[in-house]
C-alpha cells in the first residue's frame, strides 16, 4: 500500500510540475531543502525532460579587509604593518607564527591571507599587515622572528645599536607602552603610541619611532 501511495504521489507531483513554466521550476529548484524526496525526484525528472539547468552562481565577492564600515570598531580594524618579508621561506615562517597564534594577517597589496595567494614579487619586499587591535599579540609572537633573506640595505649595521625609547622629560629608559591611540582617519594615518615613564610619571604620544634627539 505504501508503494502505491508513493507512486500516486509521484504522478500527482509530476503533473503539477508539468503545469509550471520554466521560470517557476527554476525558482523552486533554487532551494529544494523543504521538498520531500518524492517531490525532488519529480522536479528533477521534469527539469531533465525540459533540459533545464540552474545557472552556476559566482561566489560572493571576498570582503576587503580594513575598509571603513562606519562601525565603532573601524579603528581597531585599521591596517598595521608588523614586518616585511623578502622570500617565500620567510613569508611561510611569519605565516606559521601568526596562524599558530590565531592572528589574522594580510600580505602584499593584494591582501593575501596566505603565501600561496601572494601575486606580488616577494623578492622586492612584501608587507605583512594585521589589524591594529592585534598588535600586542603580534609583537609577542614575532619578537624572536629573524628573517633569513633580509636585504643588506634593510639590516641594522653590527656597529649600530637600536635607539632605546626615552622619556622626553627626564630621559629615562624606564618607559612603558600603554596603548595605541587611533588617528582621526584610520585609512590615511597610522595609529599613535601612548607611553608613560615609570620614573617620573610623564605621559606622551608619538609615532612609535625612537630617535637620539
- What are the tens digits of pLDDT across the range 59-92? 766 667 777 777 788 888 889 999 999 999 999 9
Q: What pLDDT, on a 0 to 100 scale, did the predictor assign at position 1?
A: 42
What are 128-140's pLDDT values in tens digits? 999 988 888 998 8
What are 168-196's pLDDT values in tens digits? 889 888 888 777 777 666 555 667 788 89
Q: Work out the pLDDT band at 127, boundaries 50, 70, 90.
A: very high
Residue 155, class by beta-carbon neighbours within 10 Å (0-12 exposed, 13-18 middle, 19+ buried)?
exposed
Task: Look at residue 157 and tell me whether its pLDDT is greater than 70.
Answer: no
Report the chain's mean pLDDT, rounded to a whole number: 84
Classify domain 162-213 at the CATH class level.
mainly beta
Quote the DSSP letter at residue 133: G
CATH 3.30.1540 at 82-148, yes or no:
no
DSSP H helix total and E strand total for the chain: 6, 6
More confident of the two residues 67 and 47: 47
Task: Look at residue 110 and tell me whether its pLDDT is greater than 70.
Answer: yes
DSSP for 175-191, please give it.
EEEEEEE--S-TTTSPP
Q: What is the CA radius of gyration of the chain?
A: 30
Task: Look at residue 46 and tell me whether its pLDDT is greater than 70.
Answer: yes
Q: What pLDDT, on a 0 to 100 scale, did the predictor assign at position 162?
A: 55
Identify which of 130, 152, 22 has the alpha carbon closest to the alpha carbon of residue 80.
130
What percent of the chain is modeled with pLDDT above 70?
A: 85
Cell numbers linked to 155:
639590516
Identify which of 176, 179, 164 has the alpha carbon closest to the alpha carbon of residue 201.
176
Amino acid at each position: 500500500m505504501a508503494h502505491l501511495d508513493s507512486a500516486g504521489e509521484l504522478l500527482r507531483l509530476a503533473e503539477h510540475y508539468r503545469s509550471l513554466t520554466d521560470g517557476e521550476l527554476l525558482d523552486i529548484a533554487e532551494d529544494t531543502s523543504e521538498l520531500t524526496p518524492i517531490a525532488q525526484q519529480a522536479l528533477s525528472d521534469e527539469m531533465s525532460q525540459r533540459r533545464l539547468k540552474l545557472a552556476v552562481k559566482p561566489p560572493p565577492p571576498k570582503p576587503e579587509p580594513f575598509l571603513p564600515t562606519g562601525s565603532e570598531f573601524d579603528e581597531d580594524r585599521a591596517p598595521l604593518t608588523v614586518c616585511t618579508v623578502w622570500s617565500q621561506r620567510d613569508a611561510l615562517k611569519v605565516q606559521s607564527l601568526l596562524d599558530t597564534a590565531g592572528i589574522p594577517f594580510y600580505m602584499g597589496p593584494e591582501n593575501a591571507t596566505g603565501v600561496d595567494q601572494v601575486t606580488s614579487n616577494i623578492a622586492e619586499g612584501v608587507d605583512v599587515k594585521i589589524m591594529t587591535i592585534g598588535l600586542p599579540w603580534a609583537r609577542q609572537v614575532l619578537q624572536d622572528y629573524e628573517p633569513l633573506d633580509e636585504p643588506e640595505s634593510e639590516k641594522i649595521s653590527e656597529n649600530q645599536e637600536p635607539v632605546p625609547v626615552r622619556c622626553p622629560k627626564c630621559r629615562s629608559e624606564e618607559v612603558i607602552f600603554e596603548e595605541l591611540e587611533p588617528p582621526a582617519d584610520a585609512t590615511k594615518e597610522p595609529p599613535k603610541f601612548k607611553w608613560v615613564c615609570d620614573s617620573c610619571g610623564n605621559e606622551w604620544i608619538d609615532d612609535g619611532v625612537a630617535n637620539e634627539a
